[in-house]
Amino acid sequence: MTGVGELGTAAQALRSKRLTPSERAAIEALVRAVALLHTRVGYAGVDDAGAAVRLILREPEAGTGGPWATMGTINVGATNALAKRAPQRARADVLLTVDVALHELTHVIQFAKMPAAATPNGAIVEGMADAVAIFATGDDTLGEGMYKTGPDGRPMGSVRELGGAHRTSGAPLGVVINTYAQATAPGAEEHAAGGVVSATFIALRASVGRETAERLLWNVIRDAGAWSAGGTWSELARAMRRAAGTDAALLTAVDAALASTGLNAALR
Ligand SMILES: [Zn+2]
């Protein structure tokens, strides 16, 4: 952290006079994300054994590419990278929102579950992280808080629109694709391809409700068998079926959700 140094716990960091208001807000967003997951799904540290997530401020790469996660750590920049691309629409002063914090925190948890040598499947880790954020917040639009509010009172953009509701007045940063065939086609961008994962969980939510779909999602995240190779489509589809346990109706709903996006092809 250039020129700031170790700030200690979130409570200690929030008392520091060396932080900008944006940095203070970023810490608060991550604290809210952690508290939300604790309440909703029993979050107990990135390793399920009490390990805290670290937040790095003023990280140069995040300043140009946006927030990113690595083992144990979420990185944010000194300004919002989106504001460099769309200065009329994005807010330079917002470094992290609760939904983006949930997405990045999921990556930290996923990395903690994977064997050290595993190569993460980008599309799967992105789609799972998006699903975590939309279930925890109850909002299918991601990252709209990083954009300004337009004359119509709606955010002027978002990072991704996953529910198709178009709650923003501007275009999302990234499009999503939601079929397994397209997601696994050569050259598919990993955040876009993650749309097949979030779409499968959104289909499940439509049949079993948000709470049950979210519980199943977290059963998969906590299932080490889903991450042994860094996340494969076959492991994901099998872990979703395994997560249904002995609940036959839920298994039927999982199978229908997998079929709705073509992800059932990964079972063969
Ligand atoms: Zn991500």
For residue 163, the CA-to-ligand 1 centroid distance in Å is 18
Residue with tokens 């990964």: 266
For residue 107, the CA-to-ligand 1 centroid distance in Å is 7
For residue 151, the CA-to-ligand 1 centroid distance in Å is 30
Q: Please give the domain boundaries of the chain with CATH numbers for all domains.
A: 10-267 (1.10.390.10)
For residue 248, the CA-to-ligand 1 centroid distance in Å is 33
For residue 169, the CA-to-ligand 1 centroid distance in Å is 23
Q: What is the chain's pLDDT, residue by residue, as a tens digit (268 residues)?
A: 445 678 999 999 999 999 999 999 999 999 999 999 999 999 999 999 999 999 999 999 999 999 999 999 999 999 999 999 899 999 999 999 999 999 999 999 999 999 888 899 999 999 999 999 999 999 999 999 999 999 999 999 999 999 877 789 988 999 899 999 999 999 999 999 999 999 999 999 999 999 999 999 999 999 988 998 888 999 999 999 999 999 999 999 999 999 999 999 999 8
Structure pTM?
A: 0.96
For residue 123, the CA-to-ligand 1 centroid distance in Å is 9
For residue 249, the CA-to-ligand 1 centroid distance in Å is 32
Task: Please identify every residue whose CB atom is under 5 Å from ligand 1, which is an ion.
Answer: 126, 129
Q: Judge residue 190's burial from the number of C-beta atoms within 10 Å of its C-beta, 0-12 exposed, 13-18 middle, 19 or more buried.
A: middle
For residue 125, the CA-to-ligand 1 centroid distance in Å is 7
